[in-house]
Amino acid sequence: MALTAEQRDQAERRVRAAIDRLLAGQIPPGGACDVKTLAREAGISRAALYRTWGHLKDEFEQRRSTARAAGQQPDPREAQILRLRAHNQRLTSKLARTHTELAQLKERHQLALSALAAQDDELQRLRRQLTTISPTAPAGVVTLPRP
């Protein structure tokens, strides 16, 4: 069924109004700043948008690309996704640094335990040496070797 000139004008006005709303960030629930939502908001089928009003679809995509290139995000969910991805990347790098620091701390801990074990062995050796020097000395009294 062919559209009258009045119907075509009304449909084109609805598509242009929907383009302006979507690019202004007025995204309907369950929609996005895309061609599918544009067709639904304009009250036409997506196929009709591609066939009959292809120039308006192209205009929408061009204006959306221009807005994105200028740093604007018409769809707040897309901006949120970008923020969350950046936040996730920061957290991932922070986690990697934390794992590296933890590995270094574990290594230092192991070195400190080894040093303490060596010092304990040295103390035990010195105590054994003291008892072999003067086994008859009372407890707590150390006899010094004579020069």
What are the extents of the domains in the chain?
A: 7-74, 76-131
CA distance 131 to 116: 23
Among 2-11, 20-29, 36-45, 71-80, the minimum mean pLDDT is found in 71-80
The counts of H helices and E strands in the chain are 5, 0
Cβ–Cβ under 8 Å, residues 124 and 112: no
Residues 6 or more apart from 31 whose CB is under 8 A from it?
A: 37, 40, 41
What is the arithmetic mean of pLDDT over 36-45?
A: 90
Residues 6 or more apart from 106 whose CB is under 8 A from it?
A: none
CA distance 93 to 87: 10
pLDDT tens digits, residue range 95-107?
A: 999 999 999 999 9
Average pLDDT over all residues of the chain: 86
